[in-house]
Structure 1
Amino acid sequence: MNTLIKCIILDDELPGLAYLKLLCEQIEELDIVKVYNDPVAFLNEYQTLDFDLCILDINMPGINGLQIANLLTNKYLVFTTAYKEYAVEAYDLDVIDYIVKPIKKERLLQAIAKVKSRFVKENAVKDFFQFNTNKGKTLLFFDQLFYIRTSEVDARDKVASFYDGSTVVLKNVSFNKLLGILPSSQFVRINKKEVVAFKAVQLFSYDEITLNVSSENGKPITLSIGEAYREAFVQKLKS
């Protein structure tokens, strides 16, 4: 299993951000996906980014780190701050660690060790998940799944397609939650309404994917790559 942890760093203070990035680049378990000094810019993009961990400051202008953490479902969180009084509220959010500034490398390494421990445990072996579907509780095996799209009947639901030609409707589940459950090394979101399995991708161009699965008319299935998701798709291919 690949144990490289994909990381986003968010801090509005540029000197502190640069220093934290430098420290993180020295930690072999981390893959730095992107750094932000503007929480609004991060919020505009985070749904299109492929990452496991967010290391973020709490006290930022406009929207603070605690508010952002509430939006980051199924992500590992490590807070950095100069204010110790935030600690209790931070841990209420199931934050893995809370580092008081100024940040020392040894303390950061301790936090990343905690993240890695959870990451390895939660990503080991498991190859299925239980979902509420239109057919009741269903075990969805990841190796049998090649495609998930938003339902045309109810956008809160998602339609999962399997290699054997069957489909099932996943009830009231967001793509953010799905991507937190699906193995990130096996699945990728390609636009606002679709997720595909990497092993189903036969060909791809700048804005289109051809799957190695045929539609009902016998022709290969082709899907569009959304502009906002293209970079994450390409980066995943390289990983």
Structure 2
Amino acid sequence: MPTALIADDEPLLAASLAERLQALWPELQIVAVVKNGLEAVAEINRKQPDFVFLDIRMPGLNGLQVASTLHHARVVFVTAFDEYAISAFENAALDYLLKPVGDERLAQCVARLQRENKPSVDFGALISRLQKEPPGLAWLTVGLGDVTRLVAVDEVLFFQSADKYTEVVTTHERHLIRTSLKELLPQLNPKSFAQVHRAYIVNLHVVMRIERDLLGRQKIELKNSSHSLPLSRSFAAQFRQM
């Protein structure tokens, strides 16, 4: 659960801010509301909040001085004075709110804090997941005239069988490779590519919808593309949830 501390020497404004934050972000726990900079530092060290809302002009230590002591908490300055904005962002402030803070402006701030509060990436879990998932083919070597270059597999919309070759179709280009669909399919990540017809393999990430005509024939419409691909009944099961 995310936590926050509010420091403001005007008790009514501090209480109002706490109430409005709770309304906008019910999961946010206000762990302390203090009225000066010295109390703020003490409570921040004791409660270790995720976010700190600091007035700038406070008795004892001002908000900028409090912010300079922080190591982990993220700061939002709430002040009636706009001349401190540059100093505030030099102190890595997430936001700078001018009093009186309107509801829309406060909502924008809360949305920013919620993005910041996303859990950090667990790199160990990611590596473990990558090791479990088939990596799949990442690049294709294609010829264009006398030039040979690489095409990222993720950029491919679909592969189409063309006699002894396979046509590689991207948003803006077409290429031929000397690999049959049968040989190509096992090399592709099954979470990204699927065969949908004896002559087609499609990138699942670009599938927009499946359409059926009056005779029951199905076709696949692609996102941001004029291409449509036939969908054979023998391959249709994987799209029943679409």
Q: Give the TM-score of the pair, scaled to structure 2.
A: 0.48
Q: Kindly name which structure, 1 or 2, has the bigger radius of gyration based on alpha carbons.
A: 2
Q: Give the TM-score of the pair, scaled to structure 1.
A: 0.48
